[in-house]
Amino acid sequence: MGDDDQHITEVGGTGVPIPGDDVDTDQILPAKFMKEVTFDNMADYLFYDARRDDDGEFNDHPLNRFEGANIAVVNQNFGCGSSREHAPQAMMRWGIDGVVGESYAEIFRDNCKSLGIPAVTADHETVTTLQEWIEANPDGDIEIDVEDATVTYGDRAVDVEITDAMQEALVEGIWDTTALMYSNMSKVERTVADLPYV
Amino acid sequence: MSQNTLYDKVWEKHKVAELPNGQDQLFIGLHLVHEVTSPQAFAMIEERDMEIAYPERTFATTDHIAPTEADKRERPLTDQQSEEMLSALERNTAENGITFFGFESGKQGITHVVAPELGLSQPGMTVACGDSHTATHGAFGSIGVGVGTSQIRDILATGCIAADKQKVRRIEVEGSLGEGVSAKDIILKIIQDLGVDGGVGHVYEYGGPAIRELDMEGRLAVCNMSIEGGARAGYINPDETTYDYLRGREYVPEGEAFEELKSYWESVRSDEDAEYDDVVTVNVADIDPLVTWGINPGQVVEVSQPVPAPEDFEARSDREAAEQALEHMDLEAGQSMLGYDVDVAFLGTCTNGRVTDFRRATEVLEGRQVADGVRALAVPGSETVRQRCEEEGLDEVFIDAGFQWRRAGCSMCLAMNEDSLEGDEVCASSSNRNFIGRQGSKDGRTVLMSPAMVAAAAVEGEVTDCRRFFEDSAHSLTADDVSEVAD
């Protein structure tokens, strides 16, 4: 592990504000679209219901207005509900490379880490200011510096929080944990040998 | 930092190594697999030319897409995508030596119903599944965590996940439940008190007199909805209720082997002087049955209470959520949920799809009829549950009352099969989530409640206090009682 292309020190691009607290995974990726055995088409289903009006036409949902964005800016407890990785997979495949938010549901954040998507946090004011800035500057660049835990946009740079586990995993390129944990298989066997129920 | 809690002990026992990013590599003792979140993980394993590390610790069944009408379970399934998912699971489990409980096995059902009833879930284990309701298994005194598909790949390949150890919050549940009030009401009360994100960063240890008094099926319902409170895992220390439940189950050893395991189970209980990161107390002595009025499980009231107004909430986010909820549910602040019309009654799921849940509902339904115009579904959590209910004749009570008696699956909890709300239908539901769109229609409206409350709502065609159907209950409420409260 630790191939060069696995190191994620910074991500950037234009932004998309996805306002609202407790945005759940049933909104992000409705269950009816999980009946596929691959994640290939998930981008098409991202916020499927929320993005459409009653006639099935695209409405003014931010994802429709900020097509091509790379950084999603969200509020509190984003990604709550189900454990479906379909949700961050859909975001990633739609083009999202990083998320700035007030807070995340834990499984959602873990899933982001597994996919190499930095999910950083900041306070309410910082986040809403950034969301407003995006509305005013749809073509403006936002950069998340994972190593320094900062977000830069316009002429501003703000400090953000990132969990140590996510920061290390992304910067060191060890966010794909399968091979990393596989290298410990002899230790796994010792742990298992000591479990009375196995 | 917590010390000597069950969580600390079970974590230590399963910790393999500390990873370079500070997370722990944790061995998973029981890996449950279903058709929706696993095919991508099996594909990743194949791409990497890896093997399944612990097939004998891995068990699969089909639940999310399972048709619940008997004649729709013929293969190939009518729905092509569902057939493809099911076939992929059959192939992946067969090729890798993983036990699969399919339709023909007689044991198929929702992972979180099947594993407990077969004795696969036991105290002192770590349990993982690509499903957020894996917290359910904590009812035995295990650590159950929901994982994403990349983590399923990790478990398939190494038997392990990379995990952060959480804080431990002890929730002391005091008081004794009144007649007609159930485990579901306890967990809804806890989520009302602590919020839908109150448990983020924590696991919940449920204890106290009200929890001790619960049977295993009640405990499973409580732990099941830990994630609805933001806690990735929730558990209850094992005791005689736990051991009595486990004795004699298919995957539980007998005789001396049982006693040996039991001493391990006893050893992982939280110590008397265990340290918790925090302790909160919830008193359930006088609570009425609870129902949700909104679009997340924290938007819930005792049925005696009026629906709150947005300005009743301190936090800006709660006020905004309340406004959105009132609009979606077509409710006014101050209104009572009593008398709220329902179109559909749905009984089942990994929260309340067990034998005692169906028994409780039949106490209400015996000799009564589902109201005109109400579509009522009883969907056993597993085929084992279905057979057991049928042995007891419960199916006939449901059918006589006008319920459809179905085969096992997740069904209308998330509508990945044919069972779905239509338009803006209102569903009285024993499930766990009332998110917008959750039950298959973006305008559909979900009111979460206990099984007895679902049965009562089915009979009346509106939300009603189930206690009026129980003899000797002094507590049944009508909408008039509530408007007085509201005034």
Best of B44, B149, B292 to mutate (most A CBs within 10 Å, chain A): B149
Q: How far is the alpha carbon of B83 from chain A, nearest alpha carbon, in Å?
A: 10
CB contact under 8 A, B16 and A184: yes
Q: Is the ipTM of this complex over 0.90?
A: yes
Q: Is B15 on the interface with A (CB under 8 A)?
A: yes
The domain defined by B6-162 carries CATH number 3.30.70.890: no
Give the mean pLDDT of chain A: 95
**Residue A5 confidence (pLDDT) above 80:** no
Per residue in B405-460, pLDDT (tens digit) is: 999 999 999 999 999 999 999 999 999 999 999 999 999 999 999 999 999 999 99
pLDDT of amino acid B472: 57
Confidence band of B247 (pLDDT split at 50, 70, 90): very high
Q: What is the mean pLDDT of residues B1-6?
A: 97
Beta carbons within 10 angstroms of residue A13's beta carbon = 18
- Per-residue pLDDT tens for B254-293? 999 999 999 999 999 999 999 999 999 999 999 999 999 9
Asked whether this chain's domains B6-162 and B167-283 adopt the same fold, the reply is: no
- pLDDT, position B473: 55
Q: Is B146 on the interface with A (CB under 8 A)?
A: yes
Position B248 pLDDT exceeds 80 = yes
Peptide bond into B451 cis (omega under 30): no
Q: Which of B11, B125, B126, B132 to mutate to test the interface with A (most CBs of A within 10 A)?
A: B132
Q: Which CATH superfamily is domain A4-193 in?
A: Aconitase, domain 4 (3.20.19.10)
| Predicted pLDDT of residue B486 | 45
What b-and-e string marks burial along B140-176, b requiring 16 or more CB atoms within 10 Å of the CB?
bbbbbbbbbbbbbbbbbbbbbbbbbbbbbbbbbbebe
Which residues in B75-91 are b (16+ Cβ under 10 Å) and which e?
eebebebbebbbbbbbe
pLDDT of B190 higher than 50: yes
Cα A85 from Cα B150, distance rounded (Å): 8
In chain A, which residues have their Cβ closer than 8 Å to the Cβ of B321?
21-22
C-alpha dist (Å) from residue A2 to A116, A174, A178: 13, 6, 12
pLDDT of residue B470: 87
Q: Which of residues 166-195 of A touch B (CB under 8 A)?
A: 166-169, 172, 174, 176-178, 180-182, 184-185, 187-188, 191-192, 194-195
Q: Where are the domains of chain A?
A: 4-193
Instruction: Inform me whether the C-beta atom of residue B151 falls under 8 Å from chain A C-beta atoms.
Output: yes
Angle, CA of B193, B195 and B200, to the nearest 5°? 125
For domain B167-283, give its CATH number from 2.40.40.20, 3.40.190.170, 3.40.1060.10, 3.40.50.300: 3.40.1060.10
Inform me whether the pLDDT recorded for B173 exceeds 60: yes
Cβ–Cβ contact B64 with A under 8 A? yes
Contact B437, A26 (CB under 8 A): yes
Q: What is the pLDDT of residues B9-55, one digit of tens each?
A: 999 999 999 999 999 999 999 999 999 999 999 999 999 999 999 99
Tens-digit pLDDT profile for residues A169-179: 999 999 999 99
Give Cα B470 distance to the centre of its chain.
25
Is B433:A81 a contact under the CB 8 Å cutoff? yes
If we measure between CA atoms, which residue out of B374, B121, B125 comes closest to residue B252? B121
CB contacts < 8 A, A to B, total: 210
Cβ-based contacts of B433 with chain A (< 8 Å): 24, 26, 81-82
Beta strand extents in B88-209 (DSSP E only): 99-101, 126-129, 143-146, 160-163, 167-174, 202-207
Can you tell me which residue has the tokens 């006088």? B286
How far apart (Å, rounded) are the C-alpha atoms in residues B368 and B400?
Answer: 8
Q: Given a cut of 70, is residue B487 above it in pLDDT?
A: no
Give pLDDT, residue B441.
96
Residue A3, pLDDT score:
46
Average pLDDT over residues A65-82: 97
Dihedrals φ, ψ of B455, to 5°?
-60, -40
Asked whether B386 and B419 are in contact (CB, 8 A), the reply is no
Q: Which residues of A touch B130 (CB under 8 A)?
A: 83, 85
End-to-end Cα separation, chain B, in angstroms: 46
The candidate with the shortest Cα–Cα distance to B118, out of B257, B246, B234, B262, is: B246
Give percent above pLDDT 70 in chain B. Answer: 97
In degrees, to the nearest 5, what angle opens at C-alpha B132 toward C-alphas B404 and A1?
A: 145
> What is the pLDDT averaged over residues A32-61?
95
Report the chain A residue with the minimal C-alpha distance to residue B120: A197
In sequence order, which residues have a C-beta less than 8 Å from that of residue B304 and are 6 or more positions away?
B288, B465, B477, B481, B482, B485
Q: What is the pLDDT of residues B71-120, one digit of tens each?
A: 999 999 999 999 999 999 999 999 999 999 999 999 999 999 999 999 99
Q: Which of residues 420-459 of B touch A (CB under 8 A)?
A: 433, 435-438, 440, 442
What are B146-169's pLDDT values in tens digits? 999 999 999 999 999 999 999 999
The domains of chain B are located at 6-162, 167-283, 290-486
Residues of B in contact with A192 (CB under 8 A): 27, 54, 159
- Stated as kind and residue range, the H or E segment containing B447 is strand B445-448
Cβ partners under 8 Å of residue B316, min gap 6: none
- For chain B, give the number of residues: 487
B159 contacts on A by Cβ (under 8 Å) = 188, 192
Closest residue, chain A, to B16 (C-alpha): A188
Q: Is A15 helix (H, G, I), strand (E, B) or coil?
A: strand
Name the CATH code of domain B290-486 (choices 3.40.50.720, 3.10.20.70, 3.40.190.10, 3.30.499.10): 3.30.499.10
What per-residue confidence (pLDDT) applies to B482? 62
- Tell me: pLDDT of B2 over 70: yes
